Chains A and B, each alone.
Chain A
Amino acid sequence: QSALTQPPSVSGSPGQSVTISCTGTSSDVGSYNRVSWYQQPPGTAPKLVIYEVSYRPSGVPDRFSGSKSGNTASLTISGLQAEDEGDYYCSSYTSSTTVVFGGGTKLTVL
């Protein structure tokens, strides 16, 4: 199985919005609403910020939102804050009953 495709890096200034894309295929992202997003600050374990495309776990600010169109899922962070810096990963269920992750995107808050 091939990793989902994410941009290597994105950046934005405090208060701005950024969107991170996650492109898969009709065998994963395109066919199932089982896409999750994780935030990983340096040196820490990943933290779930979005599940099932657009749902936020308790405690995650509503500045984080998710969506999907076709084979591409997206994570949007609005009102960017310095604490949002880190790596972001998407994951998806696949038709082979496996999990595939994206390659990761480094978010820099300028």
Chain B
Amino acid sequence: QVQLQESGPGLVKPSETLSLTCAVSGCSISSGYYWGWIRQPPGKGLEWIGSIYHSGTTYYNPSLKSRVTISVDTSKNHFSVKLSSVTAADTAVYYCARDPYGGTWGHFDYWGQGTLVTVSS
């Protein structure tokens, strides 16, 4: 049973860096899948943040690319996202998910439960 679990601070101050980790169980993060981050502002739709392969190949949403870094730690079987210079507009539920194909096919078959990150002073 593949499971993903997001973790990280639920409150981040404006202008600081948001950091989240996604722990993967039931599947090796090196087993040929891509791993993605998606967010959803309260009451709004889904937004793809980016995806990573275990080799380190990354794809980012152009609108966030200047502020986002996604990394993978194969030894811990987890991957992470950092979003810098956050504002209130970055307040959202952040999901991690598995992509069994090319990283940008938008085909996410397993999702974490999501974690709410609020940007506020």
Binding site for B on A (CB under 8 A): 1, 3, 34-36, 38, 44-48, 51-52, 57, 89, 91-94, 96-104
Q: How far is the CA of A92 from the CA of B112 in the complex (A)?
A: 20
**Are A91 and B111 in touch, CB under 8 angstroms?**
no
The answer for the CA separation of A1 and B38 in the assembled complex, in Å, is: 15
List chain B residues, Cβ under 8 A from A104: 45-46
Min Cβ gap A45→B in Å is 4
Q: Are A89 and B111 in contact (CB under 8 A)?
A: no
Please name 9 further chain A to chain B contacts, defined as beta carbons within 8 Å, in addition to the given A93-B106, A98-B59, sorted by A numbering: A34-B105, A34-B107, A38-B46, A45-B95, A91-B106, A97-B59, A99-B104, A101-B46, A104-B46
Q: Which of A45, A94, A104 has most B Cβ within 10 Å?
A: A45
Q: Which of B45, B101, B105, B108 contacts A102 (CB 8 A)?
A: B45
For residue B52, give the distance in angstroms from its CB to the closest CB of chain A: 13
Given contacts A98-B61, A98-B62, contact A46 B105 (CB under 8 A): no
The reply to whether A48 and B63 contact each other, CB–CB distance below 8 Å, is no
Residues of B close to A89: CB separation below 8 A: 45-46
Secondary structure of the B contact surface, majority rule:
loop
Asked if residues A98 and B45 are in contact (CB atoms below 8 Å), the reply is no
Q: Which of B48, B59, B107 has the most CB of A within 10 A?
A: B107
The distance in angstroms between the C-alpha atoms of A3 and B61, with both chains bound, is: 12
List, in ascending order, chain A residues with CB within 8 A of B104's CB: 93-94, 97-99
Closest A residue by C-beta to B106:
A91
What are the residues of chain B within 8 A of A3 when measuring CB–CB? Answer: 45
Given contacts A45-B95, A98-B59, A98-B62, contact A51 B107 (CB under 8 A): yes
> Could you say which of B48, B63, B106, B109 contacts A57, with CB atoms under 8 Å apart?
B109
Q: How far is the CA of A92 from the CA of B38 in the complex (A)?
A: 14
Task: For the complex, give the distance between the alpha carbons of A98 and B36 in Å.
Answer: 12
Are B112 and A91 in contact, with the CB atoms below 8 A?
A: no
